[in-house]
Each structure stands twice: as C-alpha cells, then as structure tokens.
Structure 1
C-alpha cells in the first residue's frame, strides 16, 4: 500500500509539472506590452515574463523526484534547494513586484550586483541549468527506457552542466551521478502505479518535454540579454 501511494505521488508530480508548465506557457506569447525607458527594459521587452510561483513549483517538483531517487542525488538536490530558497526569500520581500523573476534580474543588473556573491540572478541561472539537465535526461529516457542510465546521465551532464562547472563542482557531481538508479528503477519511480505500462508513461513525459523546452528557451534568451548566460561556478 505504501509503495502504491509513493508511485501515485511520483506520477502526480509529472502531472503537476505539466500543469505548472501550462501556466508558464501563457507567458511565452507576446502580449503587446511596451518596454519602459530604463536600461534593463530596453535590453528585454516586457513580454518576457517568468512567473515566480509556477517556476519555483516546477523546481520543487524536481526536488521531490530527487528525494525519491535517494541520497545519491544529495549534491544536486542541495544546489536546487538553496537556489529555490534564495528566490523565494526575495519574492517574499515584496510579492506585488517580485512575482516575476525578470523584475528581480532587472533590479540586480541595474544595481550592478547580479554577478556578485550568492545573488538571485545566479540562482535563476543554476535552476535553469538544472532543468536543462532534467530535460536532456528525460529526452534520452523517453527514446529508450532500457538504455544504460549511467551513460545517459553522463551525456546529459556533459552537455548541460559540465561546461559551467569548475573542477570542484565537476568532481562532486561526477561521483554523485555515477550512483543513480538504473533505467527500470527510475521508470518505476515515475509511473502512476507499478502496473502502468511504459507507453502511458512515455506519453506523459513527452508532453512534459514539449512544454518544458520552450520555457527553458525563453529563460536562456533572458539570461543572454542580461549577460548572465556565461556564469560559471568554482
């Protein structure tokens, strides 16, 4: 009974992710807004928005899946969690203004603080890259649920996170990512129930991929226009 509840929760996370991404997708469309005259607004049209609540809800769903995978993903989970907390704290200081992540980026860029210390700008960069890694891994998994998971993780890491990691971060991640569960185990974690067929699971994951990709593309456009796309860790 306990295992069934856990499986249902895992699947509800996929469905919840689809719901959050559907909300975010609305903001990908041009709304006809006009940019204001500040330097930051000239860099980025007002039609670009990243609603804080859906974005952080999506990131929290990633944490829930990482918790189910277990302690082998502790390093990855800790990074995601700390970055979520940083954005949440800033948002809570004035929700009426900072409901949109872009407003926070504007403030930090205008004040010259975006790249100094543990900023919200950096948190957004790394959360976006963590979701890049997730997207890449899901794309590989949905193509072949029987593929070698360690190889899939390595491919995804090398293309999404490794280019931005220094040797310390890279070494820590390499150890952790070699301990991920095999493909069948991960598939079972993501299923609605243990009896759910893979075709149904694939359909859910494919829908999530279709919604997540354009959201991340917009995030990268935002980061590039604010000069945050090349930030690296130690």
Structure 2
C-alpha cells in the first residue's frame, strides 16, 4: 500500500479513480480505464487489514483478469466494455462476459457497503458490509462460498479505525470517499442495465 501524502487521503495514492473513468454519450464505458480503476479499488480491501478479505479481493482480481485477457486478445473490438461483451458473444464464448457479470456484482457489493456506511455515520462497517452482501453477492454464492464471505464481513475493522487509515483529515476523507462511491455507483448502474439486455446475455 502506498504511503498517504501529508494532508492527503488514501484516494490520492491510487492509480485510477472511478471518477476518472470516461463514459461516452452512449454510456459506453472505457475498458482500459475501468479495469485500472477496478484494480485500484481492490487495494481498499488491504486497508481493511484482515486476511479474511483476501478471497473477496482475489475474486475481483480474477474477474478483472478475464476481462483484460479478452481486451488484450481483441483490442479493436474492446474499447468499451459494452463492445467487448457484444463482440466476445459473437465468437460463441462468454469467459470475459461472465467475468464482467461477477466483477460488477463485486463492485456493486463494495459500492453498496460504502454508501450505507457513508450515509449512516453511527453504523459499524461490519453491518454495512453484511447488509450489502445480502443484496448483491449472497444470492449468487454457493453454500461453500457464503461462509468465506461471511467471515470477511465479521473481520471488518471498527469504523473509526478504517476511516483513520484513509487519512488524517476526516473532512477530506469523507469528501473523497463520497466522490468515489458516487462515481462507482454510476458505472455499476450503467453496466447492470446493459447486462440485463438480451444481446448481452449468453
């Protein structure tokens, strides 16, 4: 984890923020920047500081790799995530498409947990993550995976400790976190709408 600059926040240390991900007029989301921002966001699980979050982080990274592998294999057909999906499905494969579905679920889980916590200043992180899990990933997880994720929810640090790790100036932390969550929510919403369309399914 990079060192937070004096007077800065954890968000100053990441390579790419979701607020920096270009969204075209037709809501096309730039694949390269999206993957960079998703990768950067996974390091937030390092800030949470428990090994219990490794499976959550690795799950996200595994799905990022599936999408990136397709992007590298067919760059001209993968400039936006939507193009990547539609062009992969034309080949009769759906490895990256399925990876993106799971990646969006993981990002939705992260966004909902952080949104719940930002909006409810008296609530502990574990409650926010547990609530978000129930509405995003849990319905899709097998009985083998559920306990692994439940262990992670229980291993979250106290709210005050987590926010302190994001930076000394809590006003700046709050502003940066709110900005990132709003940007993440927008991207997730666009992708969920797209993935619900018939031509984006296999």
In the alignment, what sits opposite 2:192? 220
Q: CA deviation at 1:8?
A: 4.8
TM-score scaled to structure 2, two decimals? 0.85
**In structure 2, do the counterparts of structure 1 residues 123 and 158 end up closer, same or farther at CA, with 3 Å as the change threshold?**
same
- Asked if the contact 1:63–1:77 (Cα under 8 Å) also holds between the matched residues in 2, the reply is yes
- Match for residue 114 of structure 2? 138
Name the count of aligned residue pairs. 200
- Are 1:56 and 2:35 an aligned pair? yes
Taking structure 1 as the reference length, the TM-score comes to 0.75
Name 1:201's counterpart in structure 2. 173
Asked if 1:17 corresponds to 2:34, the answer is: no
How far off is 1:9 after superposition?
A: 6.6
| Distance in 2 between residues matched to 1:112 and 1:148, nearest whole Å | 45
Tell me if structure 2 keeps the 8 A contact 1:48–1:222: no
- In the alignment, is the contact (CA less than 8 A) between 2:63 and 2:99 conserved in 1? yes
User: Which structure would you say has the larger RCO, counting Cα contacts within 8 Å and 6 or more residues apart?
Assistant: 1
Deviation at 1:209, TM superposition (A): 2.8
Aligned-residue RMSD, C-alpha: 2.7
Say if 1:4 and 1:125 are closer, same or farther in 2 by CA, change over 3 A.
closer
- Distance (whole Å) between structure 2 residues aligned to residue 224 and residue 165 of structure 1: 19
**Superposed structure 1 runs of 4+ greater than 3 Å apart:** 2-9, 13-16, 226-229
Distance 2:63 2:196 in 1: 19
Residues 160-184 of structure 1: per-residue CA shift (max 9 Å, x gap): 1112212122122112221111111
Deviation of 1:227 (Å):
6.5
**8 Å Cα contact 1:108/1:121 also seen in 2:** yes
Cα distance, 1:80 vs structure 2? 0.8
Pick the aligned partner of 2:153 from 157, 172, 177.
177
2:136 to 150, 160, 165: 160
SS in 2 for 1:122: helix
1 CA distance for matches of 2:81 and 2:198?
A: 13
When residues 96 and 6 of structure 1 are mapped into structure 2, their CA distance, relative to the original with a 3 A threshold, is farther
Q: Is the 8 A contact 1:146 1:184 kept in 2?
A: no
